[in-house]
Amino acid sequence: MSSQKRLSRAYKKAKLIPFDDTSKFIFFSDCHRGDNSFADEFANNRNIYYHALRYYFTHGFHYCELGDGDELWEHLSFEPLFEAHKNIYLLMKRFHEENRLHLIFGNHDMVYKNPDYVQKHLRTYYDPKNEREAILFDNLKFHEALRLKHKYSGQEIFLAHGHQADFMNYHGWRFQRFLVRILWKPLQVWGIADPTSPARNHKELIKVEKRIKRWILNNGLLMTVVGHTHRPRFPEPGDIPFFNDGSCVHPRSITGIEIESGTISLIKWQIATKEDGTLQIVRVLLEGPQNIHDYQLEND
């Protein structure tokens, strides 16, 4: 099956989420939450991420995680990830309880494609305070893709991880996972990165982006937001409406895409130094805000 067919199949099966100009969404992807070891790339940014996520929860945003949230190539199970970043998962639990959590699986957490796996590993956790099992994510479902559809204009925004345009990371993810666990994880401790990842292989990154852009062109210039390559993308109106929210494992920062008041923006959260020498976590606007309807074709 070609990348074009894989993307089309994901679009057809995507969960539909209605929205309007009062809706608020934050898109993050590629968190690669690990076990807080030297190989955990997320660990350096976990405080930035937690602060940002708490901001979005307080301000009424829906959280859409566009794949590779958990690093399940390097780790055999979810449990060590939960223990390392418990405060983050408990905050995500609050989003879920208010029906504001929407999760997509990527190549690094493809096991979440199996509902039985999710039910077994993510439904409960051991609460040491009460010495019993407690509910974490009840009735949680992961999706291959999501479709936001405007209630009044009918405009759609397609959300996916993006690995559908990457043959080895879609069909060969088990083999890739084997290589990571056996070879690249031990080397990562010494600072040697996996060269097969599209995030670190520039030629492969360009190929993946071209395939997704071609799919967008072949499907009526559908506004599309992905992750996977870790490279933020924010087009101007009139260009191919291909967006990428970046990742949460950039050095000392995380990037994401916001939708608020009918506009879309590319943002970054990072640590900044105040004049008195203290540190603070700040939100930086990288691109936008741009009216979403500027990306809508007249005949839509």
**Nearest CA-CA partner of 106 in 247, 8, 216, 291:** 247
Residue 299 is predicted with a pLDDT of 47
Cβ atoms of 53 and 85 closer than 8 Å: no
Q: Which CA distances in Å does 158 have to 41, 104, 146, 219?
A: 28, 12, 6, 11
**Nearest CA-CA partner of 163 in 139, 197, 119:** 197
Structure tokens at 121: 């590993």
Residue 296 is predicted with a pLDDT of 83
Residue 177 is predicted with a pLDDT of 75
Residue 173 is predicted with a pLDDT of 60
Residue 127 is predicted with a pLDDT of 85
Residue 203 is predicted with a pLDDT of 80
Domain 3-295 -> CATH class: alpha beta
Residue 130 is predicted with a pLDDT of 81
* Segments of the chain with pLDDT less than 70: 1, 172-173, 181-201, 297-300
Would you put residue 156 in left (φ > 0), alpha (ψ -120 to 50) or beta? beta
Residue 192 is predicted with a pLDDT of 53
User: What is the domain partition of the chain in residue ranges?
Assistant: 3-295
Q: What is the pTM of this model?
A: 0.91
Residue 162 is predicted with a pLDDT of 94
**DSSP code of residue 105:** -
